[in-house]
Amino acid sequence: MECTKDETAITNCEKKNKDESQLSHIKNDRNKRNKLTKPPRPRKNEPGFHKVMFEETSYYFKKGLRYVYPYPFTFTAHVKGRWLNLTVLELFGKEFHMETMEYYEKAIQIGKIRVDDKIVSADHILKNNEVLTTQVHRHEPPVVQEEIEFVENSTDMVVINKPSSIPVHPCGRYRHNTIVFILGKEYGLEKLHTIHRIDRLTSGILMFSKVPEKAREMEQAVHERQVEKEYLARVAGEFPSEEVKLDEPILTTSHKIGVCQVHTDGKPCSTVFQRISYNGKSSVVSCKPHTGRMHQIRVHLQWLGFPIINDPIYNHATAWGLGKGKKGTEIDAKKVIAELIRTRKDNSYGDEINTNKPEQINSTDINNAIENKESALTEKHINNATEETMDDAENNKLCSPDLKRRKLASSNNQIKNDLIEKEKCDSSDTKSITESPLCTGKANYSKGCAKKEEKRVCYMSRDLGEEYYDEDCTECKKKWKEPLQSELVMYLHAYQYKGPGWSYKTSKPKWAEDDWNEE
């Protein structure tokens, strides 16, 4: 409306123009504030690992293993539909079982567990669109320390020979001890596009692309089965000399711990096997999978009766019964899964059975066993101990400094003598981060020390330094056994990949050599 010379109209017109001008400034200011306070959203296809993540912690190396210093970390999760109307404490009691309810109550109280970055009460009811953050002190399992062999490192491709024991991406308790983090932290390869994956325990060909266009091209070749793959495996026994082709369907019987079996309800699978060598005890076999099912090679080898000799799942000593999963053997999947869980060494990773389990020693049971001059726990004690503790007690592998002091305090002279022998035996061992490790392994003290490779020691976070210890962290209070390198390696290797116009091949692992014999 056009303003007139009427005084009232002039005043109203000026006021309107002033209000519109102020409103425009307010909108501009708000937009500026939003740009400053809201982080830019990452591009949809851009890899998400960057320098800030890489600097969360660092590595240290010991006895051929790569360790990660414990570090604080915050998990972030948007409230899911099934979480709605639960209290914060109810949620952690229902879905998260890593800690006790007492721990979660304290974490909520002191603000290690927050909702929308605010400290709330334990009975706060979760609502839609809320964000739950959990601050933890993170401990990662060690992996094998090997220099990464680059098969290709060009302008658009990175192809490596992945060492065994290292997962490709962060998963479970692994983050910095993963291939993508190691490549980013140590080789400056920060923005890689993953083309495919191989199992944590499997070594060999692993392909990344530096540019999205090449990644899409390679992914298409993989998905359309234009890629020929050859793996090497060392299996138990004398594999047939003639070519063996197996077309047996595979069913995933447990997604939780990653276990599969040959089953009529499974997905179609095809693998071609050809023996390369036999050393009198085990065979090296070329394995060419024509499909890409989970654990396909491992399951097919087990079904044929020639499992990979150190496969922690499909060559498990007790899980598969007398037939050990060989063709025609009736398998009770529930019993198999229960036995794998019962005897598993570690819960750090979803799809493998590992060995880096914290010591969970019942001090009363151990003291009673020592006082009764028993080298192993009695049935009464076994009922109150974990499987790992039972094995350690039977093999004289208990190695904590606290146990050493308890033994020294014992009035039993024989145990004192045993301890002296242990210390003599251990004197030639390399220094460890524990203050006084005992000799481990099935040592016969009258005949000398156990073999070097059977020795292992325990360590705690505080042994690394006070800066790596968190008073509220239960894992900081646990004793962790150093794994052996042999326990982190499985004899399955992705040897060669061929696709349209390209081919990648690694060197052979030592265990695949014709004259190799396991010591």
Catalytic amino acids? 199
| Residues sharing a CB contact under 8 Å with residue 38, sequence separation 6 or more, in sequence order | none
The CA-to-CA distance between both ends of the chain, in Å, stands at 97
Distances 421 to 9, 400, 414, 438, 483 between C-alpha atoms, Å: 106, 16, 11, 10, 24
Helices 88-95, 101-110: axis angle to 10 degrees equals 140
- Sign of torsion, CA 365 371 374 380? negative
Which tokens go with 406?
A: 């308890």
Dist. CA 354–CA 346, nearest whole Å: 5
Dist. CA 266–CA 210, nearest whole Å: 36
Dist. CA 128–CA 288, nearest whole Å: 49
Dist. CA 444–CA 449, nearest whole Å: 7
Distances 219 to 39, 161, 226, 383 between C-alpha atoms, Å: 31, 19, 10, 51
Dist. CA 361–CA 368, nearest whole Å: 12
| Residues sharing a CB contact under 8 Å with residue 514, sequence separation 6 or more, in sequence order | 276, 277, 279, 284
| Residues sharing a CB contact under 8 Å with residue 10, sequence separation 6 or more, in sequence order | 3, 4
- Contact between 351 and 199 under an 8 Å Cβ cutoff? The reply is yes
**Nearest Cα to 133, choosing from 63, 94, 76, 56?**
76
- Contact between 291 and 331 under an 8 Å Cβ cutoff? The reply is no
Do strands 203-209 and 479-481 pair parallel, antiparallel, or not at all (unpaired)? unpaired
Alpha helices in 271-362 (DSSP H): 296-304, 333-343
Distances 308 to 164, 284, 322, 329, 333 between C-alpha atoms, Å: 14, 10, 17, 18, 20
- Contact between 143 and 165 under an 8 Å Cβ cutoff? The reply is yes
- Contact between 64 and 485 under an 8 Å Cβ cutoff? The reply is yes
- Contact between 92 and 134 under an 8 Å Cβ cutoff? The reply is no
